[in-house]
A and B are shown apart, each in its own frame.
Chain A
Amino acid sequence: MGLLSDPNRRRALTNLLTRLNTPLWGMPVDWLVKAMQARGLEVFTQSFSRTLPFPDENKERYMVHGTNVYGILRAPRAPRTEALVLSAPCTPGSSNNQAVGLLLGLAQYFRGQMYWAKDIIFLVNEHDLIGMQAWLEGYHHTNTTGMSWTPLEGRGGSIQAALSLELSSDIITSLDLVLEGLNGQLPNLDLANLFYAFCQKIGVLCTIQGKLQRNDWDSAAGYSQAVQTMLLMVLKQASGRPWGDHGLFLRYHIEAASIRGINSFRQYKTDLTTVGKLLEGMFRKLNNLLERLHQSYFFYLLPSLSRFVSIGYYMPAFGLLAAILLLRALDLWVQLGSPAPGTEDGLPFGPGVLSVLTPLIISHLTGVALYTLPIMAQQTAVEHFPVSETEAVVLTAIAIYTAGLALPHNTHRVLSGEGTEEGWRVLKLIAIFYMAVLLGCTALINFSLGFILALTLVPVAAFITPHVPRVLSALVMVLLSPGSTLLFSIFVYQELQEAPITLLEGWNLFLSVISQGILDHNLYGSLVYPLISLLVYPCWLLLWNILFWK
């Protein structure tokens, strides 16, 4: 007894999948509506549209119009207060052409069961993340990103958990679990454990970060694979983008994960009926939940699917880095250790404070320029240079970033006086404390991003003074600046994925990552780009100012 033990249902599913194997023009809304209605679901559609701030060259879209189709399977004997979501993104082409078929097959099977206590919403979203964002905003009556969508006519109660399916072939060798969501938020570890335990029970291979976990933990090879898996998770979490359609659910306090079917060269292959059994089991377990998943950790790193590093283990590492900054700040305070500033002159503040205020204001203005100008100036850039809009935005951002390096030579000419020994100490104290608070807050929200920034910026912040050898320190500072960190992370990421790339490919990937970052911020509210441009970059510019203090 279970899914598809009935041969008729098996045949129906195979028919569906064969039909879906043919390439489709966009999303077949009417066909989906009819198919879902035929399976006894309450079907509704939502149309949405969004004009991106500049064309997205990775997915080749600029003005996006789409329709989400969702069908609600009402629980037969329960009040309609809670819901579960199974979603499959529908894209033209062959990248995700099996998931919708499996979804419909599951819908048909679930309809015949009596044990559902929560409504199940089967969602097919168009234009993956943009459609998902529109659906979630419509479901929760919020509008944070300026998308226009039609209101949802049917609702199912508060969503307890969600699973997103991505299947590209009907025979798979393993299932990849994707957990990282928007702004590095992760679902409760219970959800990942649940999925892995069930995979083991059914006998399907489950991987994380595309790597199969090993049994030999003590050997060097096993340890190095665990480290690589964890590093991949850190890099993915630090990017702040949702790595699957589930990533947008987490913001609404809904535990969600994405399941990706992978067909590679392995000995044992599983067909979709087993995957269907797996999903049925997952949904039955989620159906039995009495409360939202909150007992396990929300902050963790996974070196493999059966081991985790909790926040209690990895936060002290970050705490020690922040302690470096605080100790250096204490040291500067003791060095400064003089009576109340600036009461000798006729001015209310001595020249010390004023000469510190100027670099602060100019750095932050540069940060504001880095945040606002690339998108605002893309039209003028396209008129004057032979580049496309995306390239214009990205190259403007890089140009402003490097233009900031030229600043310290001009800042001091704004003020008539020269900087003093005390001046750079005060500026460094402010910069270090600012950086400590900033990195602390970042690490609390997105630990990986905070840790990577801390690793590269804390050594620079600690040793920089106007008296270190200038050229060497300038080189080190530029190599450890946020932009270069991003470039190196891309190369490291590709190495860890075992798909190393050449320098030119890396540079192109770097440009596309910057454009994706800006787009993520505009489309979904990702915080990485504003954080780096408005807060981290001015902080780094302050340190650059100190290096060139005269």
Chain B
Amino acid sequence: MAAPLTLVLIVAVTIRAVLFSSSLAEPLMERVEVVSPLNAWKRVVEGLALLDLGASPYSGDVFHETPLIIYLFHFVIDYADIVFMIADGITAVALYLAVQDYNKTVFRKQKYALEADRYPHDCLELIRTPKEMYYIPLKVALFYLLNPFTIFSCVAKSTCGLNNAVIALFILSTIKGSAFLSAVFLALATYQSIYPLTLFAPALLFLLQRLYIPVNFYRPSFWLFTLQYAVMYLGSLCVIVCLSFFLLSSWDFIPSVYGFILSVPDLTPNIGLFWYFFAEMFEHFRFFFICVFQINVFFYTIPLSIKLKEHPVFLIFMQIAIISIFKSYPTVGDISLYMAFLPVWSHLYRFLRNIFLVSCVMLACSALFPVLWHLWIYAGSANSNFYYAITLLFNVGQILLVSDYFYAFLRREHHLTHGLYLKRKDGSEATLVLK
């Protein structure tokens, strides 16, 4: 399987190289759907210029990325294009290996369950075969590399690509079972944008499952491992933050990066939900609504973890999707990361109910974003309401997609325990509804 993956990588690198040298690169760097005030390349260049002049890169409220990123680019600024292409490559390869390992785990569990005769007899058609699962890792890498969202994000040199690479490495190390590496990569991802904090819970659940420690609050082994993982995670986070302090000899990156992400001062339009709302907000209520919106991102972790504690990898997928919908400055690069996971759940296709509507909505909205931006900003015939309408529709489409997959996943699990053709108590046919 290495040969097709190498071919896909070569094709992806060729496409990106061609686009880097074309006239599309400059306009893409300014498109608000692709870059945000957090991860725009122009701001990184600005920060580097300030650093070269000896001033703090965070002075002037231009640069909002972390000090490690600025130091990375301080050394490789001449090869920036290659860095982003390599980041995409790392993400693709990490996802490939992770999904390969995960599929092996899934297949092994299924085999044990079949031998223990735990499945009802009529749901044998739901059992997954190795032949069906053979090409899934390659499809995952393909979906990530050849997704137009990823390509645009890479050509625009948005640091979202680096964030995706770190999250992909975190997923790989979690699935391989290395708690320490998983904690380190999770700390790096959290350090760059706060929201991957919510991935702590699924990583913990997966590692507990792997070590056969049951999730029971009365067992000391559970608490021991949780403490271990938490200490590793928080320790790495502290080390990285202190390292940043020593790199720049000041703490002013904390309000500039984390304060910026949490308090959302910049209301440039993007594909997220925050900007329009806060443009209309009265100052008196701003703090309250900031809290509400930010808690919204973290809030879904608890109920989802309780429901999906047997399936932590699906929980990771849901969490990444929720982060990219509800975060304060989303871009299309965030979307491409969770979309890369969709081939892993291709066996759920028969239970998906909204796939036609969702794909129509998302494709149409992606085409309408630049049209309505042009009508608003250049032609002056539309206004921000039109653009926000498309943003809302796009996010509704994403939420529908995620909830559809959630429904399909739970329904399949239900069928695997209760049989495929459900009967009510009086023998008539029943249907499943997600409440």
B138 within 8 A of A: yes
Within 8 A of B (CB), among A242-280: 250-251, 253
Contacts of B371 in A (CB 8 A): 441, 444-445
Task: Indicate whether A299 reaches chain B with its CB closer than 8 angstroms.
Answer: yes
The listed residue with most B CB atoms (<10 A of its CB), out of A250, A294, A441, is A441
Tell me, in angstroms, the Cα distance from A444 to B349 when the chains sit together.
34
**Alpha-carbon separation in the docked complex, A378 to B112 (Å):** 71
Q: Which 9 A-B pairs have the closest CB atoms?
A: A298-B381, A253-B380, A340-B349, A348-B135, A441-B371, A437-B367, A333-B356, A340-B346, A343-B132
B174 nearest CB across to chain A (Å)? 26
B372 touching A444 by the CB < 8 A rule? yes
Given A298-B380, A437-B364, 13 additional A-B pairs, CB 8 A: A292-B380, A298-B379, A330-B356, A339-B349, A348-B4, A348-B135, A348-B142, A433-B363, A437-B367, A438-B367, A441-B368, A445-B375, A445-B379
What are 11 sample pairs from A and B whose C-beta atoms fall under 8 A apart? A251-B379, A298-B380, A298-B381, A299-B381, A329-B360, A340-B347, A348-B142, A433-B363, A437-B367, A444-B375, A445-B371
B218 at the interface (CB under 8 A from A): no
When C-beta atoms are compared, the residue in chain B nearest to A445 turns out to be: B371
Report if B139 contacts A (CB, 8 A): yes
Q: A251 near B378 (CB under 8 angstroms)? A: yes
- A253→B132 contact, CB < 8 A: no
Contact B375 A433 (CB under 8 A): no
List residues of chain B with CB within 8 A of the CB of A68: none
In this complex, what residue of A is CB-closest to B370?
A441
Q: Determine whether the beta carbon of A348 is less than 8 Å from that of B378.
A: no
Q: Measured between C-beta atoms, what is the minimum distance from B266 to chain A in Å?
A: 24
* Interface bits A328-339 vs B (CB < 8 Å: 1, else 0): 011001000001
Contact with B along A434-475 (1 / 0, CB 8 A): 001110110011000000000000000000000000000000
- Main DSSP-derived SS at the B contact region: helix
Chain A residue, CB-CB nearest to B357: A330
Asked if A348 and B368 sit within 8 Å, CB to CB, the answer is: no
Q: Would you give the shortest CB distance from B420 to chain A, in whole angstroms? A: 14
B111 contacts A by Cβ under 8 Å: no
Instruction: Identify B360's interface contact among A294, A326, A441, CB under 8 A.
Output: A326
Bound form: Cα–Cα A331–B350 in Å: 18
Interface assignment of A363: CB less than 8 Å from any CB of chain B: no
Which of A253, A292, A298, A343 has most chain B Cβ within 10 Å? A343
Q: Which residues of B contact A292 (CB under 8 A)?
A: 380
Is A287 engaged at the interface, CB distance under 8 Å to the other chain? no
Given the complex, which residues of A lie within 8 Å of B367, measured CB to CB?
A: 437-438, 440-441
The answer to whether the Cβ of B374 comes within 8 Å of any Cβ in the partner chain is: yes
A185 an interface residue at 8 Å Cβ cutoff? Answer: yes
Knowing A298-B380, A339-B349 are in contact, say whether A437-B375 is a contact too (CB < 8 A): no
In the assembled complex, the CB of A329 is this many whole angstroms from the nearest CB of chain B, namely 7
Q: Across the interface, which residues of B come within 8 angstroms of A329, CB to CB? A: 360
A340 to chain B, nearest CB (A): 4
B95 to chain A, nearest CB (A): 15
Query: B139: shortest Cβ distance to chain A, in Å?
Result: 6
Q: Least Cβ distance of A319 to chain B in Å?
A: 13
Closest Cβ–Cβ distance, residue B113 to chain A (whole Å): 22
A433 to B359, CA, bound (A): 10
Q: Shortest beta-carbon distance, B323 to chain A, in Å?
A: 27
Known contacts: A333-B356, A339-B349. The answer to whether A253 contacts B368 by CB under 8 A is no
A33 to B10, CA, bound (A): 62
Bound CA–CA A324/B363 (angstroms): 18
Let me know if A437 and B380 touch, CB within 8 A.
Answer: no
Interface residues of B in 220-278 (CB under 8 A from A): none
Measured CB to CB, the nearest residue on chain B to A326 is B360
Would you give the shortest CB distance from A83 to chain B, in whole angstroms? 17
Residues of A within 8 A of B349 (CB): 339-340
Q: What CA separation (Å) do A484 and B85 show in the bound complex?
A: 46
Residue of B nearest to A441 (CB): B371
Residues of A within 8 A of B375 (CB): 444-445
A440 to chain B minimum Cβ distance, whole angstroms, is: 7
Determine the chain B residues whose CB is within 8 A of the CB of A339 once the complex forms.
349-350
For chain A, residues 355 to 395, give those with C-beta under 8 angstroms from any C-beta of chain B. Answer: none
In Å, the complex CA distance between A387 and B4 comes to: 51
Q: How far is the CB of A325 from chain B (nearest CB, A)?
A: 11
Flag if B360 contacts A433 (CB, 8 Å).
Answer: yes
A252's nearest neighbour on chain B, judged by CB, is B378
The distance from the CB of A522 to the nearest CB of chain B, in whole angstroms, is 16
A253 and B363 within 8 A (CB): no
Instruction: Give every chain A residue within 8 A of B132 (Cβ-Cβ).
Output: 343
* Known A-B contacts A253-B380, A433-B360, A437-B363; A445 and B350 likewise in contact (beta carbons under 8 Å): no
Closest chain A residue, CB of each to CB of B360: A433
The answer to whether B368 touches A440, judged by C-beta atoms less than 8 angstroms apart, is: yes
Distance (whole angstroms) from the CB of A172 to the closest CB of chain B: 32
The interface residues of chain A lying within 8 Å CB-to-CB of B347 are: 340
Contact residues in A for B372 (Cβ distance below 8 Å): 444
**What separation, in Å, do the CA atoms of A7 and B381 have in the docked complex?**
45
Give CA–CA (A326, B364) in the complex, Å.
Answer: 12
Task: Bits for B302-316, please: 1 = Cβ < 8 Å to A, else 0.
Answer: 000000000000000
Which parts of B381-400 form the interface with A (CB within 8 Å)?
Answer: 381
Closest A residue by C-beta to B365: A437
CA distance A53 to B127 in the complex (A): 63
Is the Cβ of B379 less than 8 Å from the Cβ of A185? yes
Report the separation of the CA atoms of residues A343 and B349 in the bound assembly, to the nearest whole angstrom: 12
Alpha-carbon distance A339/B355, docked complex (angstroms):
12
A444 contact set on B, CB distance < 8 A? 368, 371-372, 375
B363 to chain A: which residues have CB within 8 Å? 433, 437
Least Cβ distance of A281 to chain B in Å? 26
A445 with B356, Cβ < 8 A, contacts A433-B363, A437-B364, A440-B364 known: no
Cα distance, A446 to B159, chains bound together (Å):
36
A294 to B381, CA, bound (A): 8
Residues of B within 8 A of A343 (CB): 131-132, 135, 346
Give the complex CA separation of A437 and B362 in angstroms.
11
Task: State the Cβ distance, A138 to closest chain B Cβ, in Å.
Answer: 19
Contact A445 B374 (CB under 8 A): yes
Within the complex, the shortest CB–CB distance from B131 to chain A, in Å, comes to 8
Report B1 CB to chain A, min CB distance, Å: 11
How far is A441 from B139 in the complex, measured between Cα atoms in Å? 31
Taking CB atoms, residues of chain B closer than 8 Å to A298 are 379-381
Chain B window 322-365, contacts with chain A (Cβ cutoff 8 Å), 1 for yes, 0 for no: 00000000000000000000000011011000001000100110
